[in-house]
Structure 1
Amino acid sequence: MDKAHKLSPNGETRKDYKLVTFADGDPENPKNWSKLFKWYITMVVAITCFVVAFCSSVITADVPGVSESFNVSHEAALVPISVFVVGFGVGPMIFAPLSEVYGRRIIYGSTLLVAVVFIIPCAVAKNIGTLIVCRAIDGIAFSAPMTLVGGTLADLWRNEERGVPMAAFSAAPFIGPAIGPLIGGFLSDAAGWRWLYWIQLIFAFVVWVLITFTVPETYAPTILARRAKKLRKQTGDSGHVTEAELDPRPFSQRLGVFLIRPFQLLFRELIVLLISLYMSVLYGLLYMFFVAYPIIFEVRKGYSSGITGLMFIPVAIGVILSAACAPLVNKHYLKLVLKHNGRPPAEVRLIPMMISCWFIPIGLFIFAWTSYPHLIWVGPCLAGLPVGFGFIFLYNAANNYLVDSYQHQAASALAAKTFIRSFWGAGVVLFTEQMYDRMGDQWASTFLAFLALACCAIPFLFWKYGAKIRQRSKYAFGEDDTELEKGREQQLVDPNSPLHEDLEDLERARSYVANP
């Protein structure tokens, strides 16, 4: 336990505080828990992430069923998919800072419970309005686990241990959307579209029970705050405080910074804007598949929903293979770290991106020109393999590049990317069918392939000009890391320091960098 001083606005010391921290080998520190228990928590939160992603896509298996039941247009029946994805973009802006005030566990438990409850009205809905409203609420609620998983892993694992757990987690958000139409196709064929919601309810309830009753709090500041409160009660000494409790700013002020800064970066920083647009295009392609696959395999080839769901298997395999390669990418990066004496330029993060970006357009070109109704299913089916393989490489590389470029404001840069990505992914679902009808199956997919191909220029652009762009930026990180550490010491002494918000943003980014 260290001593810290809190300064009044005029710079005079007001009181000595006993800073409550973890000691070496402290059993309450999540990083000191047994590897078996840490792996259990890792798998629970990864499965939760999978379930959330599964819930986002499973209902795409029977959109016509909703349209017929409520006598609405096909476009209206797609809206429940869109509003769910919009929720993915809105929720993190609120739940990320809330988790840093109240801890991870209560946010996990409360939001998952809300999500479970609002799945029920979807399953028994009597009109499309009920379905849309409840899916929107579910999207916002389900976004919390997706936001917090990366932070939970950062709570549990030290930097040198985190590679494999992060790889295991990274695959979950992409396998879920691939498995959703597979299970949903056979289930809707057998029992109708309402069972697509009952299966969500079952899965979501199981992970809610696991998280709520078997996963303890992992966020260190919350654990330390409870310890400080206990010490104050036991000793009667109000001087026992945590670092977070030395922050005099109200939560509303901290939330305001988190809400405004992402938009400042998005519209003022070329790196954030272009990377966000690239990730939005990829996210949109993923959700376009949920509409394009039924067009190609059900409408054109006459397959059932269940058989169409099988066509997503190569996408899942590609994702798994990509996740399996993640430790190799990390190993290569560590070599570059040594080569640059521990301070590699941010652009080295673009190397996996420059290699993997080609897989997306390759897969789309194959999908486009093998999707004729008279051709065998093998071509468009296997086209999902390179697409799935490219996704994780691109997302992780983009996240890491943003963090390294905007270290002190990295969480805001990631939030900007997530926000625009989710709205784009929600929008493309609504016009994909019209695009295929008007352009034709082959040219619609080819257009997407050329779009992905054009985006391949982005990592190469930043490889050449990224350093110059960052030098001229007022937001990009250009100071030595030791200044941040000095700033942290200053933060303990003076919570009103202008570095306070930057340090807070950096810590948030370190927690959420792996969130796809």
Structure 2
Amino acid sequence: MVVIPKATVLHPCIRPCRVQYTVALDTISPASVSTIENGPLQIRDAKQSDPFLVTFDESYDVDNPEAWPKGRKWAITDVLSATGFNRILVSTIMAPALPTIAKELNMSSTESALSLSIYLLATAFGPLFIGPLSEIYGRQVVLHASNIWFLAWNIACGFANTKELLIASRFLAGFGASAIYSLAGGVLSDLWRPQERGRSLGVYLLIPLLGAAVGPILGGFIAEYTTWRWMFWSTSIFQGVMTAISFDVFHETFAPLILNRRAARLRKETGSEQYYTQYERQVGRQSVARATTQALSRPLRLLAFHPLIQITAIISALGYGTLYIVISSFADLWISYYHQPVAIGGLHYIACALGEIAGSQLGGQLMDVLFRYMKSRSSDGEHIPEFRIPLTMPGAIIGPIGLFIYGWTAQARVHWIVVDIGIFINMFGGQLTGMALSAYVIDAYPEHTSSAIAATQLLKSLAAFLFPLFVPSLYSALGHGWGNSTIAFASLVLALPAPFVIWRYGARLRQRAASTY
């Protein structure tokens, strides 16, 4: 056998793009790899030359997640979606009750704000461990373990009788909740082909996007009509139900692990130790400790050494931080300036949810249309990740426009519907950009999607944790008009040039990037 050139992708289940990644293999010859046509890596000749290489059947394979029936794939997608909804809802549900909680647990204003935002801090660091672990032990066991962990600590929040216990429990609950951020992209990459990326992302995001907005609405009514502890008990009941459903519905989707199990079964049934997978050959020479260390360090290595991850992480962090600036201050705007009741003020979060839902659903449709158009225009008929980037450009303009409208109409205290329209436009534009960047990361890093998303999630969650901390000072010094205009100008300066940089240099940067292993 000879060594495959470094331009070849690791395993046959991955859908590679035209510009490949630096991965050295020593399992099949260069001549054995045929062309790529937006499908699995064709290794028919390799299989014929080495009958012990375990792969998926090229025509149809019942074990290949991409070939599963649509009903099973949508069921798994829906389970992820509902789980994501609950975990995002918990991040914001206690916002309207912070004064009540602070009084009962003798918390300062800083401590009460910390009890809310420390959940987001945990979601910054959790994916750094959970994403790589899912690429070692599979998606299924990691999802189930994180579900149970999150459930236990969310229940503990409801029974907290000291501020220290509440803050600690919120952090640990957020750590478990963070699994959805890195797992979702990996599972969607496992299940759906590039031409289905827009629709699958749109369906997955439909319910979770409600979470950030429904949280304060639900929390406002709970705070007004019952104890704040039901914020955690009610979401724990929902999480318990979803955990039970996921044990029945969620099947393992990580292709390398599925192939490894097939190879192990063949070795046992035949008594021959010659059966192997490309993934086993790649990591077979490494000790468990080295393989684990390499996997756990992957998100930070991607963030430190891959310019494309750095660019997408910064732009995503800016949008995510802006979202949580709005979420953390929106209720106060209606209560303190428009003098509306807590429960009624919380209803304005519906405008946030509707903007994000409209952006995700239209963005999903446009993404698939753009895929077909760009592929047909390509000289060789192949898809490359940079074809996702044009969709980010309108969002980079629409989002700041909405922020300008929101800021100055709030400053002038005009009718509430105009303020809500401004925030709707902002959320719509932000979601267009966010979806396209997520699809780009999934397509650009097919072998380690969860680790790549974990790398971007680090900056996103840190921004969501830090940005709301300076909001009171920002609005106090500049008002809503210039305060939001400052954020909008920053978005235009950073987010607008980024798509052009990725479009022009993305393929070249990916080609030069160090191995994701």
TM range (shorter): 0.7 to 0.9
Does residue 354 of the first structure (1) align with residue 393 of the second (2)? yes
Q: Provide the secondary structure at the position in 1 that maps to 2:486.
A: helix
Q: Deviations over 1:23-80 (max 9, x none)?
A: 3433333333322222222211111112221121212221112211112122211112
- C-alpha separation between the residues in 1 aligned to 2:27 and 2:424? 56
Q: Provide the secondary structure at the position in 1 that maps to 2:52.
A: strand
User: Are the structure 2 counterparts of residues 289 and 319 from structure 1 closer, same or farther at C-alpha, using a change threshold of 3 Å?
Assistant: same
* Corresponding residue for residue 303 of structure 1: 340
How many residue pairs get aligned? The number is 468
Q: 5 Å matches for 1:139-150?
A: 139-150=174-185
- C-alpha separation between the residues in 1 aligned to 2:495 and 2:264? 52
Q: 5 Å matches for 1:265-304?
A: 266-267=303-304, 271-304=308-341
1:49 to 69, 72, 84: 84
Identity %: 28
Is 1:296–1:373's contact at 8 Å kept on the other side of the alignment?
no
Residue 56 of structure 2 aligns to which amino acid in structure 1? F
* Corresponding residue for residue 129 of structure 1: 164
* Corresponding residue for residue 328 of structure 1: 366
Q: 5 Å matches for 1:419-434?
A: 419-434=458-473
* Corresponding residue for residue 193 of structure 2: 158
Q: Provide the secondary structure at the position in 2 that maps to 1:358.
A: helix
- C-alpha separation between the residues in 2 aligned to 1:261 and 1:236? 36
Residue 45 of structure 1 aligns to which amino acid in structure 2? L
- C-alpha separation between the residues in 2 aligned to 1:5 and 1:292? 56
User: Are the structure 2 counterparts of residues 414 and 104 from structure 1 closer, same or farther at C-alpha, using a change threshold of 3 Å?
Assistant: closer
Q: 5 Å matches for 1:461-472?
A: 461-462=500-501, 466-467=504-505, 471=508
Does residue 316 of the first structure (1) align with residue 353 of the second (2)? yes
- C-alpha separation between the residues in 1 aligned to 2:502 and 2:85? 33
TM-score by length of 1: 0.82
TM-score by length of 2: 0.82
* Corresponding residue for residue 340 of structure 1: 378
User: Are the structure 2 counterparts of residues 154 and 406 from structure 1 closer, same or farther at C-alpha, using a change threshold of 3 Å?
Assistant: closer
Q: Provide the secondary structure at the position in 2 that maps to 1:218.
A: coil
Residue 426 of structure 2 aligns to which amino acid in structure 1? V
Is 1:407–1:477's contact at 8 Å kept on the other side of the alignment?
no
* Corresponding residue for residue 496 of structure 1: none
Does residue 379 of the first structure (1) align with residue 414 of the second (2)? no
Deviation (angstroms), 1:343: 5.0
1:22 to 56, 61, 77: 56
Is 1:119–1:134's contact at 8 Å kept on the other side of the alignment?
yes
- C-alpha separation between the residues in 2 aligned to 1:337 and 1:398? 18
* Corresponding residue for residue 395 of structure 1: 434
Is 1:283–1:421's contact at 8 Å kept on the other side of the alignment?
yes
* Corresponding residue for residue 235 of structure 2: 200
1:70 to 105, 109, 117: 105
- C-alpha separation between the residues in 1 aligned to 2:446 and 2:182? 19
Q: Deviations over 1:177-211 (max 9, x none)?
A: 12211222112211132111112212211211111
User: Are the structure 2 counterparts of residues 5 and 273 from structure 1 closer, same or farther at C-alpha, using a change threshold of 3 Å?
Assistant: closer
Q: Deviations over 1:226-268 (max 9, x none)?
A: 3333333333333333333322223433443445454455455
Deviation (angstroms), 1:270: 5.3
Q: Deviations over 1:457-515 (max 9, x none)?
A: 32365168x42x875x5xx3259xxxxxxxxxxxxxxxxxxx9x54x5xxxxxxxxxxx
- C-alpha separation between the residues in 1 aligned to 2:135 and 2:304? 26
- C-alpha separation between the residues in 2 aligned to 1:289 and 1:374? 16
* Corresponding residue for residue 177 of structure 1: 212
Q: Provide the secondary structure at the position in 2 that maps to 1:18.
A: coil
Is 1:347–1:462's contact at 8 Å kept on the other side of the alignment?
no
Q: Deviations over 1:432-481 (max 9, x none)?
A: 223223333333223222222333432365168x42x875x5xx3259xx
- C-alpha separation between the residues in 2 aligned to 1:373 and 1:196? 34
Is 2:197–2:439's contact at 8 Å kept on the other side of the alignment?
no
- C-alpha separation between the residues in 1 aligned to 2:452 and 2:262? 33
Deviation (angstroms), 1:346: 5.8
User: Are the structure 2 counterparts of residues 348 and 232 from structure 1 closer, same or farther at C-alpha, using a change threshold of 3 Å?
Assistant: closer
Residue 406 of structure 2 aligns to which amino acid in structure 1? F
Deviation (angstroms), 1:113: 0.3
Q: Deviations over 1:63-110 (max 9, x none)?
A: 112211112122211112222112212111111221122211111111
- C-alpha separation between the residues in 1 aligned to 2:242 and 2:447? 34
User: Are the structure 2 counterparts of residues 269 and 315 from structure 1 closer, same or farther at C-alpha, using a change threshold of 3 Å?
Assistant: same
- C-alpha separation between the residues in 2 aligned to 1:65 and 1:150? 37
- C-alpha separation between the residues in 2 aligned to 1:126 and 1:312? 30
- C-alpha separation between the residues in 1 aligned to 2:449 and 2:262? 30
Residue 322 of structure 2 aligns to which amino acid in structure 1? L
Deviation (angstroms), 1:394: 0.8
- C-alpha separation between the residues in 1 aligned to 2:499 and 2:274? 54
User: Are the structure 2 counterparts of residues 5 and 146 from structure 1 closer, same or farther at C-alpha, using a change threshold of 3 Å?
Assistant: closer
Q: Which moved more, 1:23-32 or 1:408-417?
A: 408-417
Is 1:297–1:308's contact at 8 Å kept on the other side of the alignment?
yes
Does residue 187 of the first structure (1) align with residue 222 of the second (2)? yes
Is 1:171–1:320's contact at 8 Å kept on the other side of the alignment?
yes
Is 2:411–2:479's contact at 8 Å kept on the other side of the alignment?
no
* Corresponding residue for residue 102 of structure 1: 137
Runs of 5+ unmatched residues, structure 2: 1-11, 13-24, 29-49
Is 2:317–2:463's contact at 8 Å kept on the other side of the alignment?
yes
- C-alpha separation between the residues in 1 aligned to 2:333 and 2:167? 26
Runs of 5+ unmatched residues, structure 1: 8-15, 480-498, 505-516
Does residue 59 of the first structure (1) align with residue 94 of the second (2)? yes
Is 1:17–1:241's contact at 8 Å kept on the other side of the alignment?
no
Does residue 244 of the first structure (1) align with residue 283 of the second (2)? no
Residue 91 of structure 2 aligns to which amino acid in structure 1? S
Is 1:405–1:477's contact at 8 Å kept on the other side of the alignment?
no
Residue 100 of structure 1 aligns to which amino acid in structure 2? E
